[in-house]
Amino acid sequence: MQNRSFQSSLIAAASVLCLTQFSLGQSPVAAPPTLHVFLLAGQSNMEGHGVVDLDDAEGYNGGRGNLAKFVDNPANHALWGDLRAADGSWAKRDDVFVSYLTENKTQKAGALSVGYAVYDDAHHFGPELGIGRALGKHFDEPVLLIKTAWGGKSLAKDFRPPSSGGVTGPYYTQMISEFRTALASISTSFPALAKCTPQIDGVIWFQGWNDGCDTAAAAEYEENLVHLIADVRKELGDPALPFIVGETGNMDGRNGKILCDGQRKACERKEVVGARFVPTAQFLREPENSPNKTHRHHWFGSGESYLLIGDALGRAAVELASVHGKNKVKV
């Protein structure tokens, strides 16, 4: 697989622009604003199965635990009320944007809000809502989240990184390919961001359920994750790129414990610097208080769970990106 440095390409393009300006006798202009880019990757829980507002009694438990009921609860409104616009609709941020090609081949691109889930509707969302909100509150410049996720995929096989040996997972290759395509399409997908300078500031990984259902895959998860971090950093041309790993905190049983321990241990390895394990088990809600009472694999569809998970992942990304950014070369 051919490795290319995104930052090198961007620097070269900026250099040509500067030389052109000087050759025309123009005065130097202010540097364009930085666009902070994050890759969001994983399986179905990164796709997003959090329920926004569906509330029929038979299919969604009367809306218990959906995002609307959580945000509109007076006890939560002070902290989360900004997710609503003044007219009561779901707010759209003007500083955070999302690009997501769903597994149904629907291209979603626009301002951060609800609806960036695998379904072709606005009734579901994923961790990107909490992630983007946390990043948008931190950065003065715009943020772009490029999401690549497919349901029912393992790290042991489907996302298997090249340095793990064996056959490289097809979804590892597709993840990198879709990220590059989205990055190259910024000017057409987001015209308002065309003059910004993209800077890749981190990867947020939220995956593990399929590996936790297989004893062998759970046992090798730590090593595969270490290889994934190294290989993705190499692909993106930054050996210290922040890498945030969300715990598969909705799993139980022996394999689930092995899996989650592997996620944590991989981020603590001496050769893995700049990675962060984010616990999420504390965000699992009781099924009777959630929209989908039988869907433990999808956090019971709890909008509260998906929002809080995203917020925790986003806060970790803020911390790592802030440290990393001090040494980051900007165009």
Percent of the chain with pLDDT over 70: 89
Q: In what order do the strands lie in the sheet with 34-42?
A: 107-111, 96-101, 143-149, 34-42, 197-206, 243-246, 275-278
Q: Is residue 3 part of a domain?
A: no
Here the CATH number for the domain that contains residue 194 is 3.40.50.1110
pLDDT at site 25: 47
Domain of residue 72 covers 40-325
Q: What is the mean pLDDT of residues 5-30?
A: 44
Q: How many domains are contained in the chain? A: 1
150: nearest Cα among 184, 106, 104? 104
Cβ-count burial of 163 within 10 angstroms (0-12 exposed, 13-18 middle, 19+ buried)?
middle
What is the tens place of the pLDDT at every residue in 289-299?
A: 999 999 999 99
Torsion of CA 169, 174, 180, 183, to 10 degrees: -130
Q: Is the pLDDT of residue 81 over 80?
A: yes
Percent helix, strand, coil in the chain (nearest 5)? Answer: 45, 15, 35
Asked if residue 24 has pLDDT above 90, the reply is no
Asked if residue 171 lies in contact with residue 153, where contact means CB atoms within 8 angstroms, the answer is yes
3-state secondary structure of 201: strand
Q: Is the pLDDT score of 16 beyond 50?
A: no
Is the Cβ–Cβ distance between 210 and 152 less than 8 Å?
yes
Instruction: Specify the range with the lowest mean pLDDT, choosing from 2-6, 173-177, 188-192, 218-222.
Output: 2-6
Is the pLDDT at 156 greater than 80? The verdict is: yes
Residues 229/243, Cβ–Cβ less than 8 Å = yes
Q: What is the pLDDT of residue 142?
A: 98
Between 89 and 4, residue with greater pLDDT: 89
- Answer yes or no: pTM beyond 0.75: yes
Region of poorest pLDDT, from 17-21, 86-90, 100-104, 294-298: 17-21
Residue 230 belongs to some domain of the structure: yes
34, part of any domain: no
CA distance 115 to 125: 5
In the structure, what pLDDT confidence band is assigned to residue 28 with cuts at 50, 70 and 90? Answer: low
pLDDT of 325 reads 72
**Torsion-angle region of residue 128: left (phi > 0), alpha (psi -120 to 50) or beta?**
alpha
Q: What is the pLDDT of residue 19?
A: 33
Give pLDDT, residue 17: 36
Q: Which residues have C-beta within 8 Å of that of residue 88, sequence separation ≥ 6?
A: none
Our measurement of the distance from residue 320's CA atom to the centroid of its chain's CA atoms, rounded to an integer in Å, reads 14
Worst-scoring range by mean pLDDT, 3-12, 81-90, 170-179? 3-12
CA 107 centroid distance within chain: 16
Is residue 5 assigned to a domain? no
User: Among all chains, which residue has been given the structure tokens 């130097």?
Assistant: 28
How many CB atoms lie under 10 A from the CB of residue 272? 17
Residue 187 lies in a domain: yes
Average pLDDT across the chain, whole number: 91
Residue 135, Cβ neighbours under 10 Å: how many? 29
Residues above pLDDT 90, as percent of the chain: 87
Asked, for residue 246, whether it belongs to a domain, the answer is yes
**Structural domain contains residue 29:** no
Give the mean pLDDT of 41-67. Answer: 98
Three-state SS at 246? strand
The amino acid occupying position 111 is A
Return the residue matching tokens 């399409």.
185
Q: Which of the four pLDDT bands, split at 50, 70 and 90, describes residue 26?
A: low
- The pLDDT assigned to 46 comes to 98
Q: What is the mean pLDDT of residues 123-134?
A: 98
Question: Residue 234 pLDDT > 60, yes or no?
Answer: yes
Coil, helix or strand at residue 226: helix
Task: Report the distance separating Cα 88 and Cα 102, nearest Å.
Answer: 28
Length of the chain: 331
Grade residue 29 by pLDDT with cuts at 50, 70 and 90.
Answer: low
Show Cβ contacts of residue 90 under 8 Å, excluding neighbours closer than 6 positions: 52, 83, 84, 113, 114, 122
Nearest one of 65, 47, 57 to 207, comparing CA atoms? 47
Residue 45 lies in a domain: yes
Helix, strand, or coil here: 144?
strand
Residues 166-171: contacts with CB under 8 Å, at least 24 apart: 168/1
**Predicted local confidence at residue 256, as pLDDT:** 97
Q: Would you state the pLDDT for residue 31?
A: 79
